[in-house]
Amino acid sequence: MAVRFCTEDVLKVAKFYLPKFVYILQDRISCGLLFFGECLKLIFTKSLSKNFQFKNVYNHGKSFADTFLVMYILKNNSCENYLGISVSKKVGKSVTRSRITRLIKENYRLNEKFFLPGFDIVFIARNPASTANFYEIKKSVCNLAKRHKIFFNS
């Protein structure tokens, strides 16, 4: 659920609904748009779902790659990030592809507060990702974001 607040009321509402996320929300006050929901959902990020959105990021964005993932980013004109994950059939069968998607999404969710807002982000899984564990994917996501200079770890 998206709710708009004036700057003065942001911390009052944040302390009431999400007391442990106040420090996250202080960084996002300038956007003026806060998302309240369950703790397991992405708070500041929406999904890329349409094919033309992915193609736009591929054609106009910058990319970096490592052993497990390729990361494309494109600056957008909003205060939130849009996340897309692509796992090809060449990587494995449906169980493997779903596992990789869950690993990428969970690692992004855990580090979401450290990503700069205002980007379309697409992760593409490579073949070695089918045997990667949680910590290898985490290292890959964080390193690619640092190479793009959209990740700050305070």
Mind listing the pLDDT tens digit for each residue in 24-46?
444 554 444 444 444 456 788 99
Could you tell me where the beta strands, DSSP code E, fall in the chain?
2-4, 33-35, 45-47, 62-65, 69-75, 81-86, 119-125
Contact call for residues 92 and 132 (beta carbons, < 8 A): no
Give all domains of the chain, ordered by start, each with its CATH number: 2-35 (no CATH), 45-148 (3.30.230.10)
Task: Confirm if 125 and 69 have CB atoms less than 8 A apart.
Answer: yes
pLDDT in tens, 108-148: 999 999 999 999 999 999 999 999 999 999 999 999 999 99
| Residue 12 exposed, middle or buried by CB count within 10 Å (0-12, 13-18, 19+) | exposed
